[in-house]
Amino acid sequence: MNTILVPKFKNLTYYMSSVFLLSSFVSFSQVKDTTKVNQLDEVLVSAVRVTTKTPVSFSNLDKKEIKFRNLGQDIPVLMNYLPSVVTTSDAGNGVGYTGIRVRGSDATRVNVTINGIPYNDSESHGTYWVNMPDFASSLESLQLQRGVGTSTNGAGAFGASLNMLTDNFAKESTGEISNSFGSFNTRKHTVKFSTGLMNDHFEIAGRLSALNSDGYVDRGASDLKSYFLQGTYVGKTTLIKALVFGGTEKTYQSWNGIDGETLNNDRTFNSAGAFTDEQGNDRFYDNETDNYQQDHSQLHWNEKISENWSTNLAFHYTKGKGFYENYKEDADLADYGLQPVGVVTATDLIRQKWLDNDFYGTTFSANYKKDKLDVIFGGGWNKYEGSHFGKVIWARFASQSELGDRYYDDYAVKTDGTVFAKANYQITEQLSLFGDLQYRTVNYKANGVQANVVDDTFDFFNPKTGLTYDINAHNALYFSYARANREPNRTDYEGGNVKPEKLNDFELGWRYVAEKVQFNSNVYYMAYKDQLILTGNLDDVGAPIRSNSEKSYRLGLEVDATIALTNQLIIRPNFTLSANKNTNLAVEGQDYGTTDIAYSPSIIAGNILVYTPVENLHISWLQKFVGEQYMNNIELPAAKLADYFVNDLNVAYEFKPKLVFKSIVLTGLVNNFLDKKYVSNGYMYDVYPYYYPQAGINFLVGLTLKF
């Protein structure tokens, strides 16, 4: 666990350091970043992370906090108890396709980086965690900045920035075997190793993982595999890391949702793959699946040039390729470029929609620290090349088709260049000034999204500034302003919404640290121009449809705290109260006035109660409340999602035998132990709501052996 900044926190620090809960949020204002273990490794994230001197609202999690809940659920689910966070799961149990929203902004607005390298998909802007199963097992730490945050690589952040740092090097050799099992036939198997520093300079570390689950919803199965391999060279002033990691996923599609009647009568029903055969029997196609493989390569060179100067240079390459497969009943032959067969103009067929892409580039930064000044210069250049194509692999009436024919064949090329400079200057002992200037240029070329070929270039200037004032040893105030601009994604072009969106973000915060209480509060006002808001509708391939809202805003209050009631009992509450509004909304010529922005609950609250009755036994009661929200922007009564309150219980015991193993950890997690029937997500089909039900009471148990 990180070191508490207040020396008098000694007893509390001891008990907190034995808790190691992923579910507990840790504000950066309360603890030092775990990357301080190695100053050279810190350079990897110094360009994108913030400290208490930065006027930004954020939270931090490290690997020790992750381990007790890392039993197979995805990273968004593991982040569920951070402030302003709402998570969703298509399969209902946190395995497979999962999503995250921060301050009401969906995953396309959350800028995600891995060791400072952009991870969001260049075209959709989304983050597909299913392509990186069990990646949490290879994380050293992560930081979630809410709002615009500071300059980073990749697409602009409109809801949050999430930057992840992979495992630091280990000085001594280690091995780890971890297995977990649970409801819905969920199971995770992980093997990790590290050689330790060989000759005091070289380390090789790796991980292999396999994860399977049947899912809560019918046929919501996942078959996931991943790997991670890292080689590190450590010198007196040099750190070089070469990484390769990736994963393969095969998930049965569960993104159709269910209507209200089915929700009441058969909440696990999944319509994906349903068809009627030639004999009139209702059946489900057994390979209605999503299949994808993604492989990443990164090379990082960190150099501490002098006591004041340090640099980072990185190169990266990502290869992604995969498809999803559908059984289409009575499909029009003409839609697939096929000629009628006599009088037959429609046929049953099986299609695959493919994506084959390459993403590569470089990032760089230089950091100067001396006395009162801390300056970072950085930037990056990245290019995405994608191919979209479709195949018919079987048809009852094949017409003139040949094996391997493509019924569409499209391309996309996107280049993204960024440069930024940001600085913290200590004006007085109590007052510090933050400034951040970023220039970003984007060019996007694609066909298949409009009648004509898209060839758009965007040039964005994003300034940020703020002040932090330390009132005394316990209290600090901060204020910041940030400007952000963001380009449309591929689906926006398909819908004709091609205006870039603009955001002015104002943040005012108070941080309080005392012997037994740590408290953070933040008021934010995010004013948007042409915000691309979710309409609640989906396109024909299940992608969310967005439209420009000329004027909109988000106004909110975020509060989180850590309170030591006794040496054995700690509570960590957080809540967000917000108003999220479209101003003078007009849809298809009709004026709706001021309305709630879709998928933006006005209340989000969490609480974690940690009880340590004896050393090495940790019991946590985790609570999450999400208020009601609309699935469209016109406040249609049928589009309202009900609020929900979910409770989890996490128990872990660690003992250290004298022989063979360094540590044996037994963990248990009961999700939704009050068996709440709830829905965390949905969409609208015209005026009809469709829902994604989440699992009732379910459990996971795990055993981890370290040697």
pLDDT digits (tens, 9 = 90+) for 454-504: 899 999 999 999 999 999 999 999 999 999 999 998 888 887 778 899 999
pLDDT of residue 572: 94
Distance CA 178, CA 700 (A): 13
* Burial class of residue 219 (count of CB atoms within 10 Å of its CB; 0-12, 13-18, 19+): buried
Distance CA 707, CA 692 (A): 42
Q: Which CATH number fits domain 7-706: 3.30.390.30, 1.10.10.10, 3.60.90.10, 2.40.170.20?
A: 2.40.170.20
pLDDT of residue 589: 79
Q: Name the nearest CA neighbour of 319 among 273, 407, 386.
A: 386
**51, 36 contact by CB (below 8 A):** no
pLDDT of residue 380: 94
pLDDT of residue 316: 98
**623, 645 contact by CB (below 8 A):** yes
Q: Which residues of the chain have pLDDT under 50?
A: 1-37
pLDDT of residue 38: 53
Distance CA 523, CA 604 (A): 15
pLDDT of residue 540: 64
pLDDT of residue 514: 92
Which residues have a Cβ under 8 Å from the Cβ of 507 and sit 6 or more positions away?
55, 56, 57, 147, 466, 478, 479, 480, 481, 482, 522, 523, 524
Q: What angle do CA 649, 651, 655 make, to 5 degrees?
A: 170
Listing DSSP states for 20-46 in one string gives: --SSS-EETTTB--GGGGSHHHHHHHH
597-625: b (≥16 Cβ within 10 Å) or e: bbbbbbebbbbbbbbbeeeeebbbbbbbb
pLDDT of residue 25: 33
pLDDT of residue 453: 83
Which residues have a Cβ under 8 Å from the Cβ of 499 and sit 6 or more positions away?
488, 530, 548
pLDDT in tens, 519-547: 999 999 999 998 888 877 776 666 778 88
**672, 698 contact by CB (below 8 A):** yes
Read off the tokens for 46: 């110094």
Distance CA 61, CA 54 (A): 18
DSSP-assigned beta bridge partners for residue 366: 311, 377
Listing DSSP states for 610-676 in one string gives: EE-SSTTEEEEEEEEEE--EESSSS--GGGEEPPEEEEEEEEEEEE--SSS-SEEEEEEEEETTT--
Q: Cα-atom radius of gyration of the chain, to the nearest Å? A: 25
Residue 541's SS3 state is coil
Q: Which helix (H) or strand (E) holds 114?
A: strand 110-114
Sign of CA dihedral 157, 159, 163, 164: negative
Distance CA 411, CA 431 (A): 51
* Sequence ranges of the domains in the chain: 7-706
